[in-house]
A and B are shown apart, each in its own frame.
Chain A
């Protein structure tokens, strides 16, 4: 029996099909979860994909967090279910309070669209269990508001608890402590700005996203 991974679709999401394709490429069973539904349909893991949910009006993720499906996502996460937010999905998860901190505008005020080096900092998370600590992955970024920030207390806590999951090798956006991805205290919720689903086939220029997606599928099957 394959693992079912739900990919949330908000109005304005634009990476949901990439996520579905990439998950199916590695043997997972992906399905779209409509944001207006109040349920996550008994899936084994949830991906909140990239895009511009609800037009990014007010702030990225600010309106998406009130979509009916988000209560179910929060409940699923609180019960220990694997939840991964990519790019705009990361912004949604911080707004929903599932992850600490916030994503502010990139230092330099430029929209960034390029492949960057991202170092795996811990293998103790639903997104990195099949990756090696220290491994540098080449992953695409595609964002305007990816500059991670948090209070000094939160940063100290993230570092002490080994909750910085990924760091940029050459910080592109001004993120505090070069942070590209963090996880929740339970390590089952991960948010990251780079797009592993867009590095899932040689045709796309890199397959470095695969260890991350494989980790997620593995976590979902657990």
Chain B
């Protein structure tokens, strides 16, 4: 089965995010008030062929731990859903 995967990579809490801070500092000048805690991350999307969702998730978790994130500074949130168009 083909599954659609979305991995969101974020800097871990406490890790400085100069990009996020810079965006946040520029907001008042642009007229956007009341916004804080701006954090910049990465979104990685791909498809994976696996027997079932649990297997797909397990492989993606392994991929995140070994390659897509650096666990010292980053966390990942993984979304796995049954792919569309795979059988079309």
A residues engaging B (CB < 8 A)?
58-59, 62, 66, 94-95, 101-102, 104-109, 147, 149-151, 174
Contacts and interface: CB of A to CB of B under 8 A. Distances in A.
Contact of B70 (A59, A147, A151): A59
A93 to B, nearest CB: 13
B83 interface: no
Closest 6 CB pairs of A and B: A109-B18, A102-B72, A102-B73, A105-B18, A102-B70, A109-B22
A120 to B, nearest CB: 26
Contact of A105 (B19, B67, B70): B19
Contacts of A95: 70
Q: Is the interface of A mostly helix, strand, loop or mixed?
A: loop
Contacts of B72: 94, 101-102, 149-151
Interface in B20-61: 21-22
Contacts of A59: 70
A39 B13 CA distance: 39
Interface of B: 11, 15-16, 18-19, 21-22, 67-68, 70, 72-73
A53 to B, nearest CB: 15
B18 A107 contact: yes
Contacts of A149: 15, 72-73
B67 A104 contact: no
Contact of B18 (A102, A106, A150, A151): A106
Contacts of B11: 104
Nearest to B66: A66
A95 B16 CA distance: 19
B17 to A, nearest CB: 8
B44 to A, nearest CB: 9
Contacts of B22: 109
A126 B18 CA distance: 34
Nearest to A154: B72
A60 B15 CA distance: 17
Given A102-B72, A102-B73, 16 more contacts: A58-B67, A58-B68, A62-B67, A66-B67, A94-B72, A104-B16, A104-B73, A105-B18, A106-B18, A107-B16, A108-B18, A147-B16, A149-B15, A149-B72, A150-B72, A174-B16
Contacts of A62: 67, 70
5 contacts: A59-B70, A62-B70, A94-B72, A109-B19, A109-B22
Contacts of A174: 16
